[in-house]
């Protein structure tokens, strides 16, 4: 499978939460490594509940081997590897790291910095396919539209939009499909995610029975190519299935 990147138009849309839980769900289908490609505000490791001693930046400057910077995690039923980052301006050689990982794992998922600065666009260009996380609100959709224009310009395949913190806004799905492209996943706003943050765990491990965890699993199935129907639900169904 290709190296996939998870990006967003602005910070605060829940991109890293999506990256962490999606990578865990994808590990049901093969070997997966989650790479923190956000060297501006790296926090992927925090969602997995650990503090790294060695990071991607140590590999890029030749201070450590790639093997030394990979953390092998066993979280409930999930087995997943993570390559964490720390804040840095060093990104040269990032593409070489991804290509090496691509030869080892069935799937490489990259959590990319929000926005459109060089620290976001460089990792975007190193991916084979990009997914765009946004919230069901006009400003978030507009920011995502700007990122989609850049994705088209750099020539990386667009995998689809992921609407996060959904509360039954069916209108937003229609607008995203019209302005940006296909919607590949809908992830609800959930109390279970808030509880997972408090406990320093991913929701798919803490509450696998929760509806939001089911939605991450369905998203993973679509990404690997399974024909899983996506049907936007309204506010009433959302309220009945928190």
pLDDT-above-70 percentage for the chain: 99
| Residue 199: φ, ψ to 5° | -95, -5
List, in sequence order, every residue forming a beta bridge with 112; answer none if it has no partner: 37
- 133 versus 2: the higher-pLDDT residue is 133
Q: Which of 59, 12, 8 is nearest to 33 (CA)?
A: 59
- Span 107-126, average pLDDT: 95
- 241 versus 105: the higher-pLDDT residue is 105
Banded model confidence at residue 44, pLDDT cuts 50, 70, 90: very high
Domain 3-240 bears CATH identifier 3.40.50.300:
yes
Give the model's pLDDT for residue 46. 93
- Span 178-194, average pLDDT: 96
Give the model's pLDDT for residue 242. 57
Give the model's pLDDT for residue 88. 85
Strand-strand pairing, 3-8 and 157-166: unpaired
pLDDT digits 0-9 by tens, 54-100 = 999 999 999 999 999 999 999 888 999 999 999 987 889 999 999 99
Banded model confidence at residue 159, pLDDT cuts 50, 70, 90: very high
How far is Cα 168 from Cα 182, in angstroms, rounded to an integer?
18
Mean pLDDT, rounded, of the chain = 95
- 220 versus 40: the higher-pLDDT residue is 220
Sequence-ordered list of residues with C-beta below 8 angstroms from that of 160, at least 6 positions apart, any chain: 131, 132, 181, 182, 183, 184, 185
Q: Does the pTM of the predicted model rise above 0.75?
A: yes
How far is Cα 116 from Cα 152, in angstroms, rounded to an integer?
13
pLDDT-above-90 percentage for the chain: 88
């Amino acid at each position: 499978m290709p190296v996939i990147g998870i990006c967003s138009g602005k910070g605060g849309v829940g991109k890293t939460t999506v990256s962490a839980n999606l990578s865990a769900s994808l590990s049901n289908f093969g070997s997966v490594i989650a790479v923190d490609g956000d060297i501006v505000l790296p926090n992927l490791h925090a969602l997995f509940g650990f503090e790294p001693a060695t990071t991607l930046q140590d590999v890029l400057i030749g201070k450590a081997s790639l093997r030394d910077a990979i953390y092998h995690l066993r979280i409930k039923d999930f087995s997943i590897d993570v390559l964490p980052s720390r804040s840095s301006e060093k990104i040269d050689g990032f593409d070489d790291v991804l290509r090496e990982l691509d030869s080892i794992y069935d799937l490489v998922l990259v959590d990319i910095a929000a926005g459109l600065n060089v620290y976001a666009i460089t990792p975007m260009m190193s991916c084979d396919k990009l997914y765009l996380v946004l919230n069901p609100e006009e400003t978030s959709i507009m920011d995502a539209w700007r990122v989609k224009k850049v994705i088209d310009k750099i020539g990386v395949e667009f995998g689809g939009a992921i609407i996060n913190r959904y509360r039954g806004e069916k209108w937003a799905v229609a607008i995203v499909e019209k302005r940006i492209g296909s919607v590949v996943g809908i992830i609800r706003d959930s109390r279970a995610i808030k509880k997972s943050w408090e406990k320093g765990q991913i929701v798919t491990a803490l509450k696998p029975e929760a509806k939001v965890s089911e939605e991450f699993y369905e998203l993973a199935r679509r990404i690997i190519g399974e024909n899983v129907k996506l049907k936007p639900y309204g506010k009433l169904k959302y309220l009945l299935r928190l």
